[in-house]
């Protein structure tokens, strides 16, 4: 007997097109790690700066090769070239605006962009001018695309603790104008966040938000410090928390007290699959602990880290997760809602984006494509 299936009842697997169309939320995207190669070339030409390559595609490939060397310190080398062309208000405004446009093209509806203002003072700007230029660019991008944003200001791990405090004060000073939190970035090894305690204490005293890069190039100790000493509300990466668990496949046999604490408290992990395999924080995608965390109820979120250096987009990160970890369309929706719940904008704004934008748009794609789950 022949069976015929009506098109409306045909179940579909998740496709790259569905992922691209799905509304997404980005919480960990470095401004200086996602610059358009063509913009780097334009700005370098303007200031007569030498670059190793002079066409956009080869330049992008050059950045990817530099990033993919299994070391966070080597991964970070490429940033010297992007930061070099981000030293004027015009350049910062342009790059911030283009960042929002690029995210919009990938159907990101809310994004938290981060950068370290201290790295943009080489040609005479002060910290306030730097932050205002980036905010102008983000606002312009929002006006053009409707993408909502929050800006996170980063201090650098290897810098003086007094500078970190200054950046923390800057973040709080701009909290009514688009800055939503404070982070500490840079090479983790040998630069523990607890050195910057005054900055974190300042942020906490002002009831503001903290995320900290931890558990990327260093183990659970770094994550413990970030949460328990510095007061992080979210963790950037958290990849090496896996060392605080006993696992069998994707099943957890035993959690250490830190892992239990993070799961119980619903502390979000901003996880970046491509970046982690390139820096060596994870050996391969298949062995990346994201899947173990996700299947066992940790609050995980997928992010890009650096779209240029890591040759990625948020859609690409989801596509990798679908291929390697069998995520369904419902998983993609859940991870996106997790991200929005974990955002640093206020609760009422998060709820509005979840119910007015994310849920209706997922429902519509579900209706159009009839995915398995």
Enumerate the active-site residues: 216
Nearer to Zn ion, 106 or 305 (CB): 305
Q: Which range of residues in 97-105, 120-128, 199-207, 298-306 is near Zn ion by CB under 5 A?
A: 298-306
Q: What angle do CA 343, 118, 114 make, to 5 degrees?
A: 20
Question: Least distance to Zn ion from the beta carbon of 217, Å?
Answer: 11
- In 3D, which of 273, 276, 314 has the Cα closest to residue 294? 273
C-beta nearest to Zn ion: residue: 305
* Structural contact between residues 314 and 304, judged by C-beta atoms closer than 8 angstroms: yes
Nearer to Zn ion, 289 or 371 (CB): 289
Strand order in the sheet with 179-185: 24-30, 108-115, 148-156, 179-185, 210-214, 234-237, 269-271, 300-302
Q: What is the DSSP letter of 289?
A: T
Please tell me the distance from the alpha carbon of residue 101 to that of residue 302, in angstroms, as a whole number.
Answer: 20
Please tell me the distance from the alpha carbon of residue 182 to that of residue 194, in angstroms, as a whole number.
Answer: 15
The two structure tokens encoding residue 359: 């849920």
Burial class (CB in 10 A: 0-12, 13-18, 19+), 57: exposed
Nearer to Zn ion, 26 or 305 (CB): 305
Nearer to Zn ion, 73 or 246 (CB): 73
Nearer to Zn ion, 18 or 180 (CB): 180
305 binds Zn ion (CB under 5 A): yes
Question: Least distance to Zn ion from the beta carbon of 213, Å?
Answer: 5
Strands 251-255 vs 245-248: parallel, antiparallel or unpaired: antiparallel
Instruction: Tell me the residue ranges of DSSP E strands in 158-244.
Output: 179-185, 210-214, 234-237
Question: Least distance to Zn ion from the beta carbon of 58, Å?
Answer: 25
The dihedral built from the CA positions of residue 199, 33, 100 and 44, taken in this order, carries a sign that is positive
270 binds Zn ion (CB under 5 A): no
Q: How far is CA 368 from the centre of its chain?
A: 29
Nearer to Zn ion, 305 or 331 (CB): 305
- In 3D, which of 154, 200, 202, 152 has the Cα closest to residue 175? 152
Nearer to Zn ion, 234 or 331 (CB): 234
Question: Least distance to Zn ion from the beta carbon of 305, Å?
Answer: 5
Question: Least distance to Zn ion from the beta carbon of 281, Å?
Answer: 11
Question: Least distance to Zn ion from the beta carbon of 190, Å?
Answer: 18
Q: CB neighbours of 341 closer than 8 A, spacing ≥ 6?
A: 268, 299, 350, 354
Number of residues that bind Zn ion (CB under 5 A): 1
Please tell me the distance from the alpha carbon of residue 80 to that of residue 73, in angstroms, as a whole number.
Answer: 12
Please tell me the distance from the alpha carbon of residue 203 to that of residue 357, in angstroms, as a whole number.
Answer: 31
Question: Least distance to Zn ion from the beta carbon of 99, Å?
Answer: 15
183 binds Zn ion (CB under 5 A): no
Nearer to Zn ion, 244 or 305 (CB): 305
HEC string for 16-68: HHHHHHCCEEEEEEEHHHCCCHHHHHHHHHHCCCCCCCCCHHHHHHHHHHHHC
Question: Least distance to Zn ion from the beta carbon of 312, Å?
Answer: 13
Q: Which range of residues in 15-23, 158-166, 224-232, 301-309 is near Zn ion by CB under 5 A?
A: 301-309
Q: How far is CA 371 from the centre of its chain?
A: 27
What are the residues binding Zn ion (CB under 5 A)? 305
């Amino acid at each position: 007997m022949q069976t015929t299936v009506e098109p409306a009842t045909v179940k579909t697997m998740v496709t790259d097109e569905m992922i691209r169309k799905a509304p997404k939320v980005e919480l960990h995207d470095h401004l200086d790690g996602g610059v358009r190669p063509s913009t780097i070339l334009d700005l370098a030409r303007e200031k007569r700066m030498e670059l190793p390559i002079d066409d956009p595609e080869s330049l992008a490939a050059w950045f990817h090769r530099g990033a993919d060397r299994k070391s966070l310190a080597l991964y970070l080398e490429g940033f010297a070239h992007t930061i070099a062309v981000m030293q004027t208000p015009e350049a910062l405004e342009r790059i911030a605006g283009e960042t929002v446009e690029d995210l919009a093209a990938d159907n990101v509806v809310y994004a938290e962009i981060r950068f370290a203002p201290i790295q943009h003072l080489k040609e005479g700007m002060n910290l306030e001018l730097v932050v205002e230029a980036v905010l102008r660019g983000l606002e312009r991008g929002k006006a053009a695309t409707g993408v909502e944003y929050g800006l996170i200001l980063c201090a650098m791990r290897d810098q003086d603790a007094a500078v970190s405090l200054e950046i923390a004060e800057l973040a709080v000073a701009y909290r009514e104008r688009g800055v939503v939190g404070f982070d500490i970035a840079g090479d983790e090894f040998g630069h523990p966040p607890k050195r910057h305690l005054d900055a974190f204490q300042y942020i906490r005293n002002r009831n503001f938000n903290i995320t900290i890069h931890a558990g990327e190039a260093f183990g659970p100790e770094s994550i413990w410090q970030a949460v328990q000493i510095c007061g992080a509300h979210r963790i950037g990466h958290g990849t090496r928390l896996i060392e605080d668990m006993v696992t069998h496949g994707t099943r957890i046999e035993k959690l250490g007290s830190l892992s239990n604490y993070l799961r119980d408290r619903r502390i979000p992990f901003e996880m970046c699959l491509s970046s982690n395999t390139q820096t060596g924080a994870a050996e391969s995608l298949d062995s990346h602990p994201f899947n173990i965390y996700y299947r066992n109820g940790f609050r995980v979120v997928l992010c890009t880290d650096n779209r240029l250096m890591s040759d990625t987009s948020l859609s690409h990160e989801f596509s990798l997760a679908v291929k390697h970890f069998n995520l369904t369309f419902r998983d993609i929706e859940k991870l996106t809602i997790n991200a929005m719940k974990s955002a640093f904008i206020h609760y009422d704004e998060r709820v509005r984006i979840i119910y007015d934008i994310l849920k209706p748009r997922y429902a519509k794609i579900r209706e159009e494509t009839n995915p398995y789950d």
